[in-house]
């Protein structure tokens, strides 16, 4: 069995040792490994001894995770996302010991937008996005009825505010706050929300709705045994009516894409729309990869309008994948684990 390092957050490993479930299903790595002749070694960067070139990892033996000290695996799939310098440096050092994919990348949403905007073919998929300032916010309020204000680095909807104009009033909505404000009140509230931190302002595309609720899509874009980008699965995340956020941790829920699209398009149209999404997602992944060569596993949040045109909302460099599980799409869910394992095997 060939070793494949799976670099995980320490909390994921701790939960697995206690038999607790979370968004990472370690057994799917193990099952794929058995089919591919590979043994997953689960570890965190702080468990690596660079002086000896070894790692104290965990393997699946006797129906449980068992500690095992092994040489640093020659192929590694990084699933850790951290701002801590020590952890980031550990991942960088590991990348010099073998093939490590999904290494350190820029997560700044504004920088990613600029990077993608350079490719003219992608511009039709990108909502208007700019850095937050008081004047920029006022300008964007004059252009669009609905806006999002987002932290430049963040995930699962934390810190996101949705602003919608209705007559001469504005609805300010976040996961915890819902207010109806005058224009001046909105500006003051938003400045308090941002508090001098780095945020972006993003145009809200007029997306299609499912049973009266807005939704977006999680699109898993991965490299597999061909070493080419492909789409492993698509699933819809439907926003809740309170905060209008589709993130599952913020009250949204997942639905199979075919069930949602059946309410919006004919069968033939639905297949055409899914193909447009697939092509857009792969083109975006290729552009991102030009700047970060180690990328091989991405989760994209995308939306579609009533005409079935796709738009990128944001790129997640550590797709948590559980949207597929929540939607009951177990084959897609398993595929998102198997595809990067198949990609890893090609380096042997």
The pLDDT score that the predictor gives to residue 108 is 85
Backbone angles phi, psi at 292, to 5 degrees: -135, 95
Q: Strands 253-256 and 229-238, how do they pair?
A: antiparallel
- Highest average pLDDT, of 12-21, 97-106, 155-164, 279-288, comes from 279-288
Confidence band, pLDDT 50/70/90 cuts, at residue 244: low
Q: What is the DSSP letter of 144?
A: -
Q: Kindly report, residue by residue over 31-60, the tens digit of the pLDDT.
A: 999 999 999 999 999 999 999 999 999 999
What is the tens place of the pLDDT at every residue in 145-185?
Answer: 999 999 988 766 678 899 999 999 999 988 778 899 999 99
Q: Say how far apart CA 257 and CA 262 lie, in whole Å.
A: 8
The pLDDT assigned to 44 comes to 96
Tokens of 255: 């639905």
- What is the number of residues in the chain? 348
Q: What is the pLDDT of residue 319?
A: 85
3-state SS, residue 243? coil
Please check the confidence at residue 206 and state whether its pLDDT lies above 80.
yes
pLDDT digits (tens, 9 = 90+) for 304-332: 999 999 999 989 888 888 899 999 999 99
Separation between Cα atoms, residue 296 and residue 58, nearest integer Å = 23
DSSP one-letter code for 333: H
User: Which residue in 127, 109, 118 sits closest to 315, CA to CA?
Assistant: 109
Residue 166's CB: how many other CB atoms inside 10 A?
Answer: 10
* Cβ–Cβ < 8 Å for 146, 158: no
Radius of gyration of the chain (CA): 21
Strand pairing class (253-256; 297-304): unpaired
Helix (H) or strand (E) holding 311, with range, is strand 310-316
pLDDT score of 104: 87
When mean pLDDT is compared across 3-17, 178-192, 244-258, the lowest value belongs to: 244-258
Tell me whether strands 75-78 and 169-173 are parallel, antiparallel or unpaired: unpaired
Q: Looking at per-residue confidence, does 328 or 107 come out higher?
A: 328
Per-residue pLDDT, 156: 61
289-327 burial code (b ≥16 CB/10 A, e <16): beeeebbbbbbbbbbbeeebbbbbbbbbbbbbbbbbbeb
Query: Under the phi-then-psi rule, with left for phi > 0, alpha for psi from -120 to 50, and beta for the rest, what region is 13?
Result: alpha
For residue range 79-97, what is the model confidence (pLDDT) as tens digits? 998 878 999 999 999 999 9
CA 312 from centroid of its chain's CA atoms: 12
248 confidence band (pLDDT: 50, 70, 90): low
Residue 253, pLDDT score: 84
């Amino acid at each position: 069995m060939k070793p494949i390092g799976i670099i995980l957050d320490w909390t994921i490993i701790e939960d697995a040792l206690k038999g607790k479930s979370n968004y990472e299903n370690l057994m799917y790595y193990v099952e794929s490994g058995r089919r591919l002749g590979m043994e997953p070694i689960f570890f965190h960067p702080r468990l690596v001894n660079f002086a000896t070139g070894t790692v104290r990892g965990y393997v699946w033996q006797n129906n449980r995770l068992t500690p095992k000290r092994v040489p640093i695996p020659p192929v590694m799939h990084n699933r850790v996302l951290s701002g801590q310098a020590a952890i980031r440096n550990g991942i960088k050092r590991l990348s010099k010991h073998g093939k490590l994919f999904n290494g350190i990348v820029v997560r700044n949403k504004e920088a990613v937008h600029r990077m993608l905007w350079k490719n003219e073919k992608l511009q039709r998929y990108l909502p208007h996005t700019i850095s937050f300032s008081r004047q920029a916010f006022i300008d964007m309020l004059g252009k669009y009825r609905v806006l999002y204000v987002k932290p430049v680095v963040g995930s699962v909807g934390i810190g996101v505010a949705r602003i919608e104009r209705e007559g001469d009033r504005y609805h300010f909505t976040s996961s915890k706050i819902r207010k109806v404000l005058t224009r001046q009140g909105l500006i003051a509230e938003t400045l308090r929300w941002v508090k001098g931190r780095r945020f972006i302002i993003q145009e809200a595309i007029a997306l299609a709705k499912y049973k009266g609720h807005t939704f977006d899509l999680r699109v898993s874009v991965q490299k597999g045994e061909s070493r080419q980008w492909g789409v492993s699965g698509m699933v819809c995340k439907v926003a809740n009516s309170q905060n209008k956020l589709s993130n599952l941790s913020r009250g949204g829920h997942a639905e199979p894409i075919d069930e949602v699209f059946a309410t919006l398009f004919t069968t033939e149209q639905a297949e055409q729309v899914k193909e447009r999404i697939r092509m857009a997602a792969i083109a975006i992944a290729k552009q991102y990869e030009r700047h970060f060569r180690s990328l091989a596993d991405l989760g994209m949040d995308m939306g579609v309008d009533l005409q079935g045109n796709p738009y990128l909302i944001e790129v997640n460099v550590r797709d948590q994948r559980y949207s597929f599980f929540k939607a009951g799409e177990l084959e897609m869910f398993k595929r998102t684990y198997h595809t990067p394992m198949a990609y890893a095997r090609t380096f042997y």
